[in-house]
Structure formats: C-alpha cells, structure tokens
Amino acid sequence: MKTAVRFDDVTFFYPERAEPALVGCTLDLPEGAFVLAAGETGAGKSTLLRAINGLVPHFSGGDFSGRVTVEGRDTVDHPPRRLADVVSFVPQGPAASFVLDRVEDELAYAMENLGVPPAAMRRRVEETLDLLAIEPLRERSVRSLSGGEQQRVAIAAALTANPRVLVLDEPTSQLDPQGAEDVLAALQRLVHDLGLTVVIAEHRLERVAGFVDVVVGCRRGIPPIVGGAAEVLRELGLGPPVARLGVLVGWDPPPLTVRAARRDAVHLQLGESPRRVRPPRGDDLVTTHDLGASFGPLNALREVNLALASGEVVALMGRNGAGKTTLLRCLAGLHEPRPGMVSAHGAAPRAGLDVALCPQDPDMVLFRDTVADEVRATRAARRRGHQEVLHRFGIEDLQAIHPRDLSAGQRLLVAAAAIVATGAPVVLFDEPTRGLDASSKRRLIEFMRSHAANGGAVMFATHDVELAAEVAGRVVMLAAGEVIADGSPADVLGDSPVFAPQMARVFGAGWLTPEEVAAAVVPA
Amino acid sequence: MRIRSLVLSLAVAAVSLWPVAVAPAACASEAQSAVLVVDTGETVLNFCVTLPVDSVSGIELVKLASKQHGLSYKLGFGGAAVCHLAGVGPTGSDCFEQDPDFWGYWRGDGSGGWTWGSTGAGSTSVTDGSVEGWAWGSGTGPETHPAPPATRFADVCVPADPGGKKEGGGSDKEPAAPQESESKPAPAPGSGSSSNRDDAPKKERSRDKGNKLPAKKRTPQSVETPAPAATPSPVPTSSSTELAGSELASDSDGGPPAAGVAALAGTLVLIGGGALVARRRRTQ
Amino acid sequence: MNSELSATSHAYRDSARMVHPVAWLVWAGCAGLAAVTTTNPFYLLPLFASAWIVHSTHRTSGPAARSFRIFLLFAVWAITIRTGLVLLGPINQGSVANALLEGLRLGALLTVFGTFNSVADPFRVLKLAPRRWHESALAAALALSIAPRTIASVERVREAQRMRGIDIGRWSGLPSLAVPVLATGMDEAMTLAESMDARGHGRGTRTRYRPDRWSPAATAVTAIAGLAAAAFVAAAIGGWGGLEPSTFPLVWPEASPALVASALAFAAPALVAPGRRR
C-alpha cells in the first residue's frame, strides 16, 4: 500500500524549549488509513499533527531535524500553503479558525487560494455540503451555528480543497455524544468511500478505538510507538472502559468496542450489580425554585427545580445548547434568574463565597508566573494558605512552574485550584474536558470525591459519559432548558441509547465502571 | 413603507419645531464690556466689545470684536497667537512670516497707558473695564515695538447702561469718545514704553467733540478703511439688531437656525429608526 | 453561548440588495471626510445618527457587528476625555464647548469606522486588496476580526477573577484582566493565522468563488455618499456653511440646509436595507 505520510527520525524542539516535543519519530501511514494519535497532553500529539501539514516547522519556528514526507513532498521544502492541496488541517475549537462569515464562503476559501476554477468550485461546494449534510446551513453565519454544526462546517471547508490527507485535532471534544458520533461517522465514510487518510488526535478513546486502523502512541521524551489499536493502547496503559475491563479480567487482547466486549463477555458471570451506596445527603447548599433564564427572546432555562446538597457530586448532561452553562451560571449567581430564584442559605448565591464556577477555558483565569502565585492570587487563599489546595489537586510538585508551560490538562487543574481556593462549599465545573488527559482526569475525580466527602458539593457539566459514570452520584439531564431526568447514573444513563456508558451497554443498566464489573465477576 | 414613515416623521418633527426656530428669543442683557484697540500703523481702530461672561482671554476678545463689529482677524500657531488684524499681517499660521513686523500685544494699564503683554493673549484675562491693544510693527520688546495710542476705557465704551441702545452718553456721563480713525506717521521706533506719545492731543480732541454723538451703524465685514474715514463702532448695546447679519440668522438672536432644527429632528428620527430596526432584529 | 443561540437562525442577506464591500469603503471614506471638515454639531449629530442607522440595518451577524457598541463607547469616552482635559485649565464656556465639539468630531469618525467594520466583512474587503497591500490588509483584517472576540472575553475574565476575590478595579488588578484577555486574543489570532496559512493563504494566483456583485444599491450608496462629501469639501474650500463654528461667544452655530441635508444623506443606505429572515 502506498504511503501517505512518512516520518523519518523526526526530532523537534519548540523555540526556546529545553525538552523536545517530538523525539526520533519514525512512522509510515498508509493511504486510506484512519489514524489515531493518542497519548497524554503534552506528549506531542498536536505537534505530530502539525508536522504533517508543515505548520511545524514553518509556522512554529524551532529546531527541526529529520524528514516528513507527505504524498511525496518534503515538508521542509514545502511551507503549509504549498501543501494545502494535499493536506487539510482542522484545529481544535474550529470557531477560532473561521475566516469568513458565511458558511458557503468559508467552504470556498481554500479553493480560492488554490486557484481552482470557479465552475469546479461551485461543484465541490455543493458536493461537500451534501456529504456532510449541511446544505441547509449554507447561507448562515458561521458564528450562529452550534458546536456540532461548526465542526462539520470546518471539516467541509477542509474537504473542498480535495486533500489526500485530512488532519483533525480533537474534533469531538466539544460535541455531545450524538454530535460526536455524527462527525466520526462522517470521517469514517470519507475514509471508506474516498480513500482519504484521516489522522485525528483524541482523548476519548471510547469514541474512536473501535474503527481506527493505526494508532500512534505519543510519549513524552521518547519516540512514539506505532501499530494496531490494541497493542499500542495497551502499551500506553490507555483505552476505553471495555479495554480496561479486559485488562482487569484477563481478556487478551482486550476488546476495543462494545461489540467485541459483548462477545468476550458471553462467558462471564456477574454477581449482583452494586447498588451504589449514595453517601448521606447533607443539607441543601443551593437550591433553585422554578428557575427560568433567558437571553433576550430566547428561553435558555425553564422551570428548573433542583437542589445541591452537601456531599453530592452531580453530573449535568444534555445536548449542546440545552442550557447547561446557563444553569451553572445561575447557580453561581452570575446570571439573573427571570423568573424564579436561586438561593443559598436563604439569599441569592454570592459568587466566590457560596458558589464558585470554574470556567471551561482555564486560560481565562491564569495570569501569574508560577502555579503557587496563581493560587495565592485568589484572595481567600492568602488567609488559608495555598498548599492545601494544591495538595487536593495533586499538583504540589508543579508549584514553581509557569502555568503556560504546563499541559492543557494540568492548566485546568491549576485553574480549578485557583477557583476552589475561594473556599466556596459548592464548586461548579463547566465542561472540564478539553484536553483532559487520563492523569489529569484522575486527579480531578479525586478532588471531586474528597470535596464532597468533606461536606462540599460538586456539579460538573460534561459530555463525557464515562466520567459521569465513574464519579457522579447523581445525574441531571437537561433538554431545551428543562430538567428531563434527575437521578442516579444507573437510572438516568443506564439504558439511554446515546448516553449509556460502555459497561451499561455491555452488561446492562446497573453497571457503570469496569472496576465495578471486575469486582462482581463470579469466578468460573 | 419604511421610507414613507421616515419621511413623514421627519416632516412632522420639522414642522413642530419650526416655531422654536423663528421665535425671537429674549436677548441676554450684558452690561460688561472691554475695549480693544487695533493700531495697524496706518489706522487705529477702537472697539467697545460686549463681554458675555465675566472673563475672556485676549484672543477671545479679538474674536468677539470680530463677531460684534466685523473686525477681520486670523489666528496662527494653532490659535494661540494673532497673525492678522484688520487686513494687516500674514494669513497663514506663521505669525512671523512678515518678519520683522508682527502684531504686538499690549494691555491697558488702567490710566490710558500700555503694558507689554508678558504672556500670550490666549492666557490673559480680560474683564469688564479692561483695555486691550494690538499694534503692528517691529521690535522684540516694549522698548522697541510700537504701542497703540493711549486709550482709556471710557474713551471708547460709554459706561454700561442696561437695556436698549443708546446714543452718546447721558448728560451726567462722560461724553462718548469719537470713534474715528486717524492717520499716523509710521510708528516711531524709539517711542516710549507705556506710550504716552499721543496722549495729550488725543484726549483733547475727544473732549472737543462734545457730548452727543450719533451712534453710527457699523459697516459689515472687515474694516480696512484708509486714513480719514470714520471707523464706526457702536456704543455698547446689548441688542443685536444693529449687527449686520452677514451670516445667516445664526448669531446671538437667540434661536437655533431653521436648518439646524431640521438637523436635530432628522437626527432623532434616524436614531429612532435605528433603534426600531435593532429591536426588531433582536426579537427575530 | 453560541450553542445556546443556535435556535435563532440569522439568515444571510438577500443578495440582490447586498452592498459591495468597496461601496462601503467609499461610503465610510466619504462620511469620514465629511466629519473631518467640520465641528458643527448640526452636521456631526446627523452624521452620528446616519452611521447608527446604517449599522442597524446592514450589520452582518458576525462578531464584528457586535463591536459597534465598543466603537460607540470609545467615541463617547473620547468626547468625555477631550472635554474633561479642558476642564483642567482655565474654564470658560467657550473652551469647554470647543473641546466638546472637537471631541464630537473625533467621535463621529470613530462611529463611522465602527459602522464600516460592522457592515463590511473585513475579510471580504481583504480579498479585494491589491497584492502590494495584501500583508497590511491582512494584518488589519486579522486585528478587526480578533478585536471583537477579545473584547467579548473581557467580560468573562472579569467575572472569573471577581469570583476569586481579585479586585479588578485597582491598578494591581489589571494584570488579572489583561493577561488572560491578551493571551486568549493572541491564541485566537494564532489559530486564525495558522488556519489561513494551512489553507493556502498567499499561495499564488487566486480565483474568486462568487464575487460580490456590484448592485444598483451599491451604485446608489456610492453616488450619494460622494455627493454629500463633495458638499462638505466645497464648503470647506469656499469657506461657507459654518463648518467650524466659533464657540466664543456661545451662540447657535449656523446651519446650511445643503450641508444638513448632506449629513442626513449618509443615512441613505438604510433605505436599501437587506431583506430579513427567509
């Protein structure tokens, strides 16, 4: 099979960095392969992706050695614009990468630059609109689209250039499960029907592990390992929940999809599904009464009645646009309830005192030179001392490092620490999943558990079903601004076709995490 | 539809505001005035300038004299200095273009004499009863630069009498000084600082004229009269009816001009229209 | 949140009434020229209002349009500062009025610019820039598109930092606002620039997908703006119309009907407002 992308012993240092972002990277990606770049944040996935289309080294600068060849072209000799006809790149969070205002114009942008004749441009735009099912959006302003729609438009805009290789950086991180599925299905179709080579970086392995052909396992400071999904993921210690289960119960190779897991589980006998012991529910820390909220004529929330009690960890889920962020902001006292009310101990919640909200983008919060200074900048931390907060997130060893030198997941933890340092008993997280790699996720989970155990309450909005399954004691589901479900994860997620965690899909509604399942296995 | 309603509202607004425009406004009655003397070297112009506020700067006095009596002037150096008065002097922004001649700034010392202006005319304070003078010539300081002829406040301004116009002074008041120009020989370079040179003769002359003098109508536009022509300058009057309206009825007759009212009406209509569109857009 | 607003579809403009970006450039240039010639509020106020109504009727749904408010606030701030500075010196009505009018002129210029920014997609204008100016036009377009997004993030940063108990009001609180905002702005600019680079920007001969058509609306806008500006230029050269009214004494400035009408004429594009939702 022909090679689409070849790396020959590539080592790369970003400007003024002592540690290399890529080391001795050698790989051979065949044409028509669906390739996954996996690994912790900071291990070099983004760099790898950008090396394919020449942004590394032409846009980034730095020290580049080795060779990358794409469809026969050497990326050192060809700057990104010279590769634009064979490689297309979709960065993370595509909203920031849109150049023009109208969807149709955005699709045509790359073709205009490439000098494609107008007749061909018209044809390709129409075809791509159909391919990604976005024809009804053609006249819309890109800013007015939902996250999922934006993602599809970005992919469409990348496709019109007729590339041979399509590179996407975390294309599903902001999408709800259904949206993610749509996008990944579209990508699969491209691989199968058009023979495109698709390279994606992704953390949520449960979404992609099933259909990737090649996995590049990036590791910090050493060359990546390349191979089939099963072996590489096992080597990295990563994998979707079914793979983790496989490792726990000794399936070899561990399954990567729900389907494969079902096959393997045929002979498995399970004891009783654990009735997850809900920790005693303490006093209500913040409650809402018929809460409504609106943006002008739009109703974002409608008659929401819920309460957060001490000791709870609650997952807030729902489609993009269902009102999760608005609800969190109302709870934090940042958005005016109209009508209805939110109360914490009888009065409106005071932001930073009763309730603290950690924003989605940690970079919105970080401004000091070291992690310790950052946490100390929060006023309450000066009194209380910052060491304790650092410890709760397991980041004491990062104290003296400049936050911007940390990986995305670590930055999220620092921002969370800075917010938690306010001492508010109720801590809210707005989709803490961008760039959240496995180790940061672990630390976040531990924080949530300990915070609730110490009498606080945590609510986090998320699309990550597995995260909810693992740590939440309660799940609230929103749709079109209303609460449509509020209960235990088993009840709410267990049999949902869209939101069910993998364990539930394999074993039934009562099962949420691999650890639970493994613990209940009846020895044969 | 939208066009029609716009035009209609514009018309309605204009029509309803029209009476405001044409109504004669009450005149502000000002009793404060100052004297401005302009000595071009060939002619001397005296102005009694009404002050609308307690204090103005020397530059502003010149502007007022222009507004009230038609003195032509041009400022330079960004409005901080006087370059051109009554037809004499450079018209660009460099007041020293006709070096070594320039307009020297003098301030009346209270008894008819002059003190060289030590600061720029933009930062001085001219109040009721002040006398200000400008003389064209060369010389960098008070010893060398010519000064205007000695002038006292009462020589030019009849003491203030609130209300209406007046003729030259009441019987118990100082006679109004004649407003006339006189031809002079070229300013003698070596004249004394607080120039008393022409003091005596002028005073006499003024006394000679007698009590009553008819208030003369001033001529419009810049006053560039050669030697013997009388330079008219009205006695202080607060009514503006004497002012020849060279400009459109925009002066201190109190009301805003008609076109201005229309401008404001149009502005309101446009703002309203825009707000309407914005609201409709938001509710879509 | 974008996703929350996806239910409202801001359908794009009806292309028959669409005004070509160059026509907007001409409009803005002419309105700016008119503003520069005068400090007469009878001309400047209609100019403000014209810019406002043109913005209201023709604004794109992009973030640039939301930044109009910022330009307006900036204009008000400029006027206030300009007048306030004068109050530091010897105060009299005339100098204060003078400063106010100067500020008004500056404010009108800013508002016209803000309108141009919100009705003409800067990147569409960029595409028309001749090659020689391409780099600077690109920088300008990038700045114009990033600025509103950056400004939008100010509010979010402020909220988050206030929650932490950081006093943004004082000087010491400034980095807590500036650093995240600027860093995010720069990141977004980098992402955008990266995206443009990766999609072949500046590659070579370009083609045009669906070039903006020059419509009768565009002709009308250009012609009217040109005539209106010509009136002001004529008044400036001929010395009539009271373009720079004296503020001393404080009297009503003159108002030439021709110039008033010209100032109002800059609102003409509002009459060819694009169709609304399909």
Domain shared by B77 and B176, yes or no:
yes
Q: Do C252 and B281 touch (CB under 8 A)?
A: no
pLDDT (tens digit, 9 = 90+) per residue, A501-518? Answer: 999 999 988 899 999 999
Task: Tell me the CA end-to-end span of chain A in Å, nearest whole number.
Answer: 45
Contact predicate A366/C181, CB 8 Å:
no
Q: Tell me, what DSSP letter sits at residue A323?
A: S
- In 3D space, the residue among A276, A205, A286 whose CA is nearest the CA of residue A238 turns out to be A205
Task: Tell me the CA end-to-end span of chain C in Å, nearest whole number.
Answer: 24
Domain shared by B128 and B180, yes or no:
yes
pLDDT (tens digit, 9 = 90+) per residue, A221-252? Answer: 899 999 999 889 888 888 899 999 998 998 88
Task: Report d(CA A134, CA A155) in Å as an integer.
Answer: 11
From the CA atom positions of chain A, what is the Rg in Å? Answer: 24
Q: How close is the nearest chain A Cα to the Cα of B128, in Å?
A: 59
Give the mutation candidate from C121, C146, C158, C163 for the A interface (greatest A CB count, under 10 A). Answer: C163
Domain shared by B186 and B272, yes or no:
no
For residue B228, the model assigns a pLDDT of: 39
Percentages of chain A per state (helix, strand, coil), in multiples of 5: 40, 25, 40
Chains that touch B (3 or more CB pairs under 8 A): A, C
Q: B257 vs C151, which has greater pLDDT?
A: B257
Q: Do A96 and C4 touch (CB under 8 A)?
A: no
Domain ranges of chain C: 3-125+213-272, 153-198
Residue with tokens 């950081």: C166
Domain shared by B9 and B146, yes or no:
no
Task: Report d(CA C56, CA C73) in Å as an integer.
Answer: 16
Q: Do C203 and A323 touch (CB under 8 A)?
A: no
Within 10 angstroms of residue A371's Cβ, the number of other Cβ atoms is 29
pLDDT (tens digit, 9 = 90+) per residue, A302-332? Answer: 999 999 999 999 999 998 778 899 999 999 9
For residue A384, the model assigns a pLDDT of: 79
Q: What is the largest CA-CA distance in chain A?
A: 69
The residue of chain C nearest to residue A59, with distances taken between CA atoms, is C194
pLDDT bucket at A199, cuts 50 / 70 / 90: very high
Tell me, rounded to whole angstroms, the distance of Cα B225 from its chain centroid: 17
Choose among B56, B252, B259: nearest Cβ to C257. Answer: B259
Per the DSSP assignment, residues forming a β-bridge with A22 are A12
Give the torsion through C-alpha atoms of A80, A85, A87, A93, to 10 deg.
80
Residue with tokens 């009793």: B31
Within 10 angstroms of residue C84's Cβ, the number of other Cβ atoms is 12
Q: How many CB pairs under 8 A join A and C?
A: 214
In this complex, is the C-beta atom of C91 within 8 Å of any C-beta atom belonging to chain B? no
Domain shared by B66 and B197, yes or no:
yes
Q: Which amino acid is at A410?
A: Q
For residue A295, the model assigns a pLDDT of: 76
Angle between helices C257-265 and C41-58 (to 10 degrees): 20
Tell me, rounded to whole angstroms, the distance of Cα A209 from its chain centroid: 15
Q: What is the mean pLDDT of residues B21-48?
A: 69
Give the torsion through C-alpha atoms of A252, A253, A258, A261, to 10 deg.
-20
Chains that touch A (3 or more CB pairs under 8 A): B, C
**Which residues of C fall within a CB distance of 8 Å from A156?**
none
Task: Report d(CA A374, CA C269) in Å as an integer.
Answer: 51
pLDDT bucket at B11, cuts 50 / 70 / 90: low
Contact predicate C47/C35, CB 8 Å:
yes
Contact predicate A55/C194, CB 8 Å:
yes
For residue B205, the model assigns a pLDDT of: 40
Domain shared by B202 and B272, yes or no:
no
**Cis ω before A339 (30° cut-off from 0):** yes
For residue C236, the model assigns a pLDDT of: 92
Q: Which of A284-298, A324-338, B76-90 has the lowest mean pLDDT?
A: B76-90
* Tokens read off for A379: 């006023």
pLDDT value at B252 more than 50: no
**Cis ω before A224 (30° cut-off from 0):** no
Quick one: CA dihedral A447, A448, A449, A451, positive or negative?
positive
User: Which pTM value belongs to this model?
Assistant: 0.69
**3-class DSSP string for A242-271:** HHHHHHHHCCCCCCCCHHHHHHHHCCCCEC
* Tokens read off for B123: 């930062």
Domain shared by B165 and B283, yes or no:
no
The residue of chain A nearest to residue C149, with distances taken between CA atoms, is A96
Sequence-separated (6 or more) residues with CB below 8 Å from residue C273? B2, B277, C17, C57, C58
pLDDT bucket at A74, cuts 50 / 70 / 90: very high
> What DSSP string describes C179-232?
HHHHHHHHHHHHHHHHHHHHTTTT-SS---SSPPP--HHHHHHHHHHHHHHHHH
B94: domain CATH number?
2.170.130.30
Q: How close is the nearest chain B Cα to the Cα of A297, in Å?
A: 6
**Cis ω before A337 (30° cut-off from 0):** no
Where does residue A94 rank: exposed (0-12), middle (13-18), buried (19+ CB within 10 A)? buried
For residue A500, the model assigns a pLDDT of: 92
For residue B232, the model assigns a pLDDT of: 38
Q: How many CB pairs under 8 A join A and B?
A: 4
Q: Which residues of chain C have pLDDT under 50?
A: 1-14, 276-278
The residue of chain C nearest to residue B4, with distances taken between CA atoms, is C271
Q: How close is the nearest chain A Cα to the Cα of B283, in Å?
A: 6
Q: Do C49 and B262 touch (CB under 8 A)?
A: no
For residue A234, the model assigns a pLDDT of: 87
Three-state DSSP state, A348: coil
Q: Which range, A141-145, A418-422, B80-84, B108-112, is most confident? A: A418-422
The residue of chain C nearest to residue B123, with distances taken between CA atoms, is C90
pLDDT (tens digit, 9 = 90+) per residue, A467-491? Answer: 999 999 999 999 999 999 999 998 9
Sequence-separated (6 or more) residues with CB below 8 Å from residue A402? A369, A370
Task: Report d(CA B210, CA C240) in Å as an integer.
Answer: 43
Domain shared by B173 and B273, yes or no:
no
- Looking at the domain assignment, is residue B120 inside a domain? yes
* Binding-face residues of B in 255-284 toward A, CB within 8 A: 282-283
Q: Do B250 and C251 touch (CB under 8 A)?
A: yes
Q: A168 vs B280, which has greater pLDDT?
A: A168
Per the DSSP assignment, residues forming a β-bridge with A485 are A477
pLDDT value at A75 more than 90: yes
Q: Do B270 and C273 touch (CB under 8 A)?
A: no
For residue A99, the model assigns a pLDDT of: 87
Per the DSSP assignment, residues forming a β-bridge with A457 are A426
pLDDT value at A50 more than 80: yes
Range of the domain at B1: 1-22+258-284
Three-state DSSP state, A239: coil
Average pLDDT score, chain B = 65
Domain shared by B108 and B155, yes or no:
yes
Domain shared by B66 and B186, yes or no:
yes
* Tokens read off for A470: 């693992």
Give the torsion through C-alpha atoms of B78, B81, B86, B90, to 10 deg.
-70
For residue B28, the model assigns a pLDDT of: 36
**3-class DSSP string for chain B:** CHHHHHHHHHHHHHHHHHHHHHCCCCCCCCCCEEEEEEECCCCEEEEEEECCCCCECHHHHHHHHHHHHCCCEEEECCCCEEEEECCECCCCCCCCCCCCEEEEEEEECCCCCEEECCCCCCCCCECCCCEEEEEEEECCCCCCCCCCCCCCHHHHCCCCCCCCCCCCCCCCCCCCCCCCCCCCCCCCCCCCCCCCCCHHHHHHHHHHCCCCCCCCCCCCCCCCCCCCCCCCCCCCCCCCCCCCCCCCCCCCCCCCCHHHHHHHHHHHHHHHHHHHHHHHHHCC
In this complex, is the C-beta atom of A61 within 8 Å of any C-beta atom belonging to chain C? no
Contact predicate C147/C74, CB 8 Å:
no
From the CA atom positions of chain B, what is the Rg in Å? Answer: 24
Q: What is the mean pLDDT of residues A203-218?
A: 90
Please report, for residues A408, C17, C111, C212, C217, the alpha-carbon distance to residue C20 in angstroms, rounded to integers and kept in the order given.
43, 9, 20, 6, 9
Q: Tell me, what DSSP letter sits at residue A112?
A: H
pLDDT bucket at A277, cuts 50 / 70 / 90: low
Domain shared by B142 and B8, yes or no:
no
Task: Report d(CA A218, CA A10) in Å as an integer.
Answer: 13
Domain shared by B154 and B187, yes or no:
yes
Quick one: CA dihedral B79, B81, B87, B89, positive or negative?
negative
Choose among B53, B250, B281: nearest Cβ to C92. Answer: B53
Choose among A91, A105, A298: nearest Cβ to C7. Answer: A298
- Looking at the domain assignment, is residue B269 inside a domain? yes
Please report, for residues A303, A305, A331, A482, C42, the alpha-carbon distance to residue A292 in angstroms, rounded to integers and kept in the order given.
5, 10, 12, 9, 46
Q: C8 vs B146, which has greater pLDDT?
A: B146
Burial per residue of A70-83, b for 16 or more beta-carbon CB atoms within 10 angstroms, e otherwise: bbebebeebbbbbb
Task: Report d(CA A87, CA A165) in Å as an integer.
Answer: 5
Task: Report d(CA B133, CA B49) in Å as an integer.
Answer: 13
For residue B282, the model assigns a pLDDT of: 73
For residue B254, the model assigns a pLDDT of: 61
* Binding-face residues of A in 296-315 toward B, CB within 8 A: 296-297
Sequence-separated (6 or more) residues with CB below 8 Å from residue A286? A307, A308, A331, A342, A343, A344, A349, A354, A355, A426, A457
Choose among B60, B262, B271: nearest Cβ to C49. Answer: B271
pLDDT (tens digit, 9 = 90+) per residue, B165-201? Answer: 443 333 333 333 333 333 344 334 333 333 334 444 4
Three-state DSSP state, A414: helix
Choose among C4, C204, C209: nearest Cβ to A326. Answer: C4
Chains that touch C (3 or more CB pairs under 8 A): A, B
Percentages of chain C per state (helix, strand, coil), in multiples of 5: 70, 0, 30
Task: Report d(CA B257, CA B14) in Å as an integer.
Answer: 12
Task: Report d(CA A55, CA C195) in Å as an integer.
Answer: 10
Number of domains present in the structure of chain B: 2
Three-state DSSP state, C97: helix
Task: Tell me the CA end-to-end span of chain B in Å, nearest whole number.
Answer: 19
Phi and psi (nearest 5°) for A29?
Answer: -100, 120
**Which residues of C fall within a CB distance of 8 Å from A422?**
163-165
Q: Do C53 and B274 touch (CB under 8 A)?
A: yes
Please report, for residues A265, C29, C277, the alpha-carbon distance to residue C274 in angstroms, rounded to integers and kept in the order given.
62, 22, 10
Task: Report d(CA A82, CA A119) in Å as an integer.
Answer: 22
- Looking at the domain assignment, is residue B252 inside a domain? no
